[in-house]
Each structure stands twice: as C-alpha cells, then as structure tokens.
Amino acid sequence: MRSKSWEHYAYCVPIVFCFLIRDGKILLIRRAQDPYKGEVTVPGGRKQRGESLRAACAREMLEETGYRVEDLTFAGILHVFRDGEDREYVSYYFVCRDFGGELQESDEGALFWADLDESLTLPGIHPFYVRLLPHIRSGDIVDMTLHVDAHGNEEPL
C-alpha cells in the first residue's frame, strides 16, 4: 500500500467568532492587535488544541469581553485562503443573545455596542463582517469560501 503525501493538503487554522446581540445592538471590537489591527469586527480568536468549538468560543468571549455566554447558536463557516500562505483559515461563527457578566475590555481592542443597521457602515468595519451580517440576521447558515489574492481582493468560490 502506497503512503499518501501530505504536501497537497491544507494546514487549517480554526478560529471562532461570536455575534453578541441584544436589543437590536451588536458588540463589536476595534482590534488593537494583528491581524486586522484597527479594523472593526465581532470578538473572537483561535481555537486551542483539544477545545471544542463551543468551548473555544465561550473562552474567547470571556477573555475578550468579560461576558459568559449561555447559549451559542451555530451560524456557519467561512473558509479563507490567501495567495502566498501555506495555511488556510476556517472561521466558525456563533450567535449569542443570552449572556451575562460585566463588560470588560482586554488588550485585544476597544469594545463598543453598535446598532445592527448602522454597524455595516462604521469606519474600519471588516469586509467579512459586512458579508456575514445579512446571513446572521436572517438565520441562514453561512457556508462560504473566499480566495484572497496578493492585493487583498476577495473572490467567492
């Protein structure tokens, strides 16, 4: 039996994000760290080895926002691969409307609440957020793959 080489397989980085929504508003973060330093998006981060996706999302929300999430609804997947990188990114999105605790910022960035409609036009809003929010609001499960070229242009696949 012949052994298959792994060289043609993707190394994927799993990332979790959460749309924390309450009373028509969403919690956003202006990132203070790379990647996406200065851009506005929903809180999230990388899944650690051995964590479930939900556990990773709950940990990231507690670390970045101070909120304990009670009920996470799976909202979909965004798969991104960029020219010139060996790894690919698979982002798992959740929605949470049931959370508690005290809002507290971390070194990840400045947190703020924004009106859902107005959030789409905020200065520095990340283009992935703009693509995803309509699906999140309608309850559609996101299943998207994007190719990003060397100039940062996105192409859906």
Task: Please list, in sequence order, all residues whose beta carbon lies within 8 angstroms of the beta carbon of residue 13, skipping any fewer than 6 positions away.
Answer: 46, 87, 88, 89, 90
pLDDT at 149 over 60: yes
CA 99 to chain centre: 18
**Mean pLDDT throughout 134-155?**
92
The answer to whether 32 and 64 are in contact (CB under 8 A) is no
The answer to whether 42 and 27 are in contact (CB under 8 A) is yes
pLDDT band at 102 (very low <50, low <70, confident <90, very high): very high
**Mean pLDDT throughout 117-135?**
96
pLDDT for position 1: 53
Residue among 156, 135, 136 nearest 146 (CA): 156
pLDDT for position 6: 76
Looking at per-residue pLDDT, the higher value among 147 and 3 belongs to: 147
Q: What are phi and psi of 117, to 5 degrees?
A: -65, -45
Looking at per-residue pLDDT, the higher value among 6 and 69 belongs to: 69
Q: What are phi and psi of 107, to 5 degrees?
A: -75, 0
**Mean pLDDT throughout 96-116?**
96
pLDDT for position 3: 62
pLDDT for position 125: 97
Global pTM exceeds 0.95: no
pLDDT for position 46: 96
d(CA 15, CA 91) in angstroms, rounded, equals 5
| Rounded percentage of the chain residues whose pLDDT exceeds 70 | 98
d(CA 12, CA 15) in angstroms, rounded, equals 9
DSSP reduced 3-state for 124: coil
